[in-house]
Each structure stands twice: as C-alpha cells, then as structure tokens.
Structure 1
Amino acid sequence: MLSRSTFFSLAGALALGAALAAGPSRAGEDVLRVYMNSARVLKLDRPVSKVIVGNSDVADATVADAKTIVLTGRAFGTTNLVLLDAEGNAIVDERILVSIDEANTVRIFKATARTVLSCTPNCEEHAATGTAKN
C-alpha cells in the first residue's frame, strides 16, 4: 500500500511526464499527427499538383487521387507537408508529428532505466528506450 505522500509524488510525476510527452505547442498551431508505421488519409477541397515533405525519412505522402493524399509515419519526429495547386498556391502547409500510438505501449521503469514496449499486436522493445532523464 502506498503512503499518501508517495501517492501524490507519483501522481505529480505522472502529470509532469504527460505534459512533457505532449511536447511544445503554440496557441492555435495545427499539427497533423500520424502514428509510426500507420497511414492517415487527407481529403482536399481542390486538386493537388505538387506534394512536398520536408523530411521524407520522417513521413511520406502519396497521391491516391487528385483530392486525396495518404500520409504515412516512417520515423519518430517532426517535419512539414506542403501541398500546392496547379497555380502554385498552398492548399496545405502544416507541421507533421510522427509519434508512437500511446494506446498500444507499455512502459517499464526500473531505477533510472526505462523500457518502452510497442504492442501492436506483439510487444517489442521500442527504439527510443534507455536511461530516464529529469
């Protein structure tokens, strides 16, 4: 059984961890979130002529048809996506965040070591593990 002070210390640490995991954001800033090794369909209101991904190692964009883009998370991190119409006007200019699907993870903390397992469907150690930092 945890003492009251230990419980509140753990609750505070969990809240801080959740805030840090959310990452920095600016008010009103839109971010397209894509999970690692998953696809997200973007439906556009007009045809796209050119697709530009800032860092294709982080995310990939495929044209399914003139008004549909499939965005795929390739590696953890951030990049940007710019979609231009035939006249060169920006249809989309957004930041992309590729992250782990938190619903399918298990974190194991042992002293200062942290192990993250991605469980989709079998649990495997996630690449971003190691010593926990304050």
Structure 2
Amino acid sequence: MAFISPLRLLSSKQGLDQARRSGILGVATCLAGLLCTGAAMAQDAALMNVYLNHARVLKLDRSVSRVIIGSAEIADATVADAQTIVLTGKSVGTTNIVILDQNDNPIVDQRILVSTDEGNTLRVYRSTARAILTCTPSCEEQTKK
C-alpha cells in the first residue's frame, strides 16, 4: 500500500470523502468503547466485594426491618443496630443481599462476591501439585475444606 500524504488526500473530493468516513468510523468506535466501559463499570458498582473470613460494615440511612441473604453458605449478615449491618464472607462464590426497611421497601438489593484476599498469598507449583500459602507475617499453607 502506497503512502499518501494527508494534504494530498484532503485535496481531492474522493480523499475528502474517505477522510470523513474514517473520521466518523473512528468517532463511532470511540463512543462504542466508552459505552462498553461504562456498562462494565456499572456492573462492577452493582457487585459488592467481601473477602473470605472478613467482615464488611454497611451503614444505612434508614432503619432495617429484615435482612435476606440468598445463600447462607456463602455470606452471613448480622444486624449490629437499626442502621448497621455486618456482612461476613463464609465461602468463595456469589450470592445476593436484600435489606428491607420498616415498610418492607428494599433499601439494598445487591449481588455479593466473596473471594479470597490474595494480597498476602503465594502460589507454589510443583509439577501438577499446587499449594497456596498465606503469608501474614510467616507463610502457612491454606487449609482445604
């Protein structure tokens, strides 16, 4: 493919039309990318992350009447006071939480992802065997259930 200078390309009608089409296509591609990124960010915002065997405090603006966890094997919720819920990750997986106010209106209806905190972990691979070590401060192998 031969190189055509931008000035020469824009000096002909055909070149100008091609440049316009390329520009429109470029803008459309950028907009599509932004829309997809926005959708992914909105999906991440709707996902509440909790680490395995860690607690997360939820402060609410209204009093709580009921707390419903989709799968009690994955997460647990404790009402600390009328406007505070403590959410604890029990096993790795996804579930949901629904929190209702005094009139049974939903305050929160959100998905929960319980995952391991890999900030202090080390994975050791020996042939087909794998060991995961938790290093806080000394390294110990994670127990498997």
Report the alpha carbon displacement of residue 121 of structure 1 after superposing the two structures with TM.
Answer: 4.8
TM-score by length of 1: 0.70
Partner SS state of residue 91, structure 1: strand
Contact 2:47 2:110 in 1 (8 A): yes
Report the alpha carbon displacement of residue 118 of structure 1 after superposing the two structures with TM.
Answer: 2.6
* Matched letter for residue 72 of structure 1: T
TM-score by length of 2: 0.65
Matching of residue 124 in structure 1 with residue 136 in structure 2:
no
* Matched letter for residue 52 of structure 1: I
* Matched letter for residue 80 of structure 2: A
Report the alpha carbon displacement of residue 120 of structure 1 after superposing the two structures with TM.
Answer: 4.1
Question: Which structure has the highest helix share of the two?
Answer: 2
Question: Which structure has the highest strand share of the two?
Answer: 1
- The runs of at least 4 consecutive aligned structure 1 residues that moved more than 6 Å come to none
Instruction: Give the 5 Å matches for 1:81-100.
Output: 81-100=97-116
Structure 2 partner of 1:106: 122
Q: For 2:105 and 2:136, locate their aligned partners in 1 and report how far apart those are by CA, in whole Å.
A: 39
Q: For 2:75 and 2:125, locate their aligned partners in 1 and report how far apart those are by CA, in whole Å.
A: 30
Instruction: Give the 5 Å matches for 1:9-88.
Output: 27=40, 28-29=42-43, 30-88=46-104
Q: How many residues align?
A: 103
* Identical-residue share of aligned pairs (%): 58
Structure 2 partner of 1:17: none
* Matched letter for residue 33 of structure 1: N
Q: Deviations along 1:12-69, whole A, 9 cap, x unmatched?
A: xxxxxxxxxxxxxx62122111111110100001111000000011100000001100
Q: Which has the larger radius of gyration?
A: 2
Structure 2: runs of 5 or more not aligned:
1-38
Matching of residue 115 in structure 1 with residue 131 in structure 2:
yes
* Shift in CA distance, 94/121, structure 1 to aligned 2, threshold 3 Å: farther
* Matched letter for residue 89 of structure 1: N
